[in-house]
């Protein structure tokens, strides 16, 4: 799947972890970064090294430790929102790549089996459509969940 789509999906999914208005951009950024992360394995055992649950867990723990080291109080107070935003971006990237022909090596390095429905080619229109469908569905769900949909509807109604 196209990398910008993973980034968008990560950013939107992370909105669910934002506890307040000013956490929205921070969570979205962490989700976008998480959504980008797995494809850092492009040049090294692609779809394996970073497209598995172990690298996701280790990556999230490393982020938790790194954020803990930054001497900014706010980061510590909201550390779970930020880490979970990052993790959901990474997780959804793995999930979405499962729909592409190659699948994902979910339990690598302990298993060399690739998983997923494996429906489309990675750069196909169907893959892009699915990605944007997921992103739009998540955004709409979050707007309803957060109550922002009411504000938007009020603006539309005038």
- Contact footprint for Zn ion (CB under 5 A): 38-39, 97
Q: How far is the CB of 3 from Zn ion (least distance, A)?
A: 8
Tell me which residue has its CB nearest to Zn ion: 97
* Residues across the chain: 158
Closer residue to Zn ion, CB minimum distance, 57 or 74: 57
Q: What is the 3-state secondary structure (H, E, C) of 89-157?
A: HHHHHHHHHCCECCCECCCCCCCCCCECCCCECCCCHHHHHHHHHHHHHHHHHHHHHHCHHHHHHHHHH
Helix 79-97 vs helix 3-14: crossing angle, to nearest 10: 140
């Amino acid at each position: 799947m196209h990398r910008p789509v993973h980034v968008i999906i990560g950013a939107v999914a992370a909105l669910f972890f934002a506890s307040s208005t000013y956490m929205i951009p921070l969570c979205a950024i962490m989700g976008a970064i998480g959504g980008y992360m797995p494809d850092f394995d492009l040049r090294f055992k692609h779809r394996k090294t970073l497209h598995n649950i172990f690298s996701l867990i280790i990556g999230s723990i490393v982020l938790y430790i790194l954020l803990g080291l930054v001497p900014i109080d706010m980061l510590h107070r909201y550390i779970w929102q930020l880490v979970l935003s990052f993790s959901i971006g990474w997780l959804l990237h793995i999930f979405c790549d499962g729909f592409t022909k190659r699948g994902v090596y979910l339990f690598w390095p302990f298993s060399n089996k690739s998983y997923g429905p494996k429906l489309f080619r990675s750069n196909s229109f169907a893959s892009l459509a699915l990605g944007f469908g997921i992103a739009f569905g998540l955004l709409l769900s979050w707007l309803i969940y957060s109550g922002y949909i009411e504000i938007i509807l009020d603006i539309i109604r005038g």
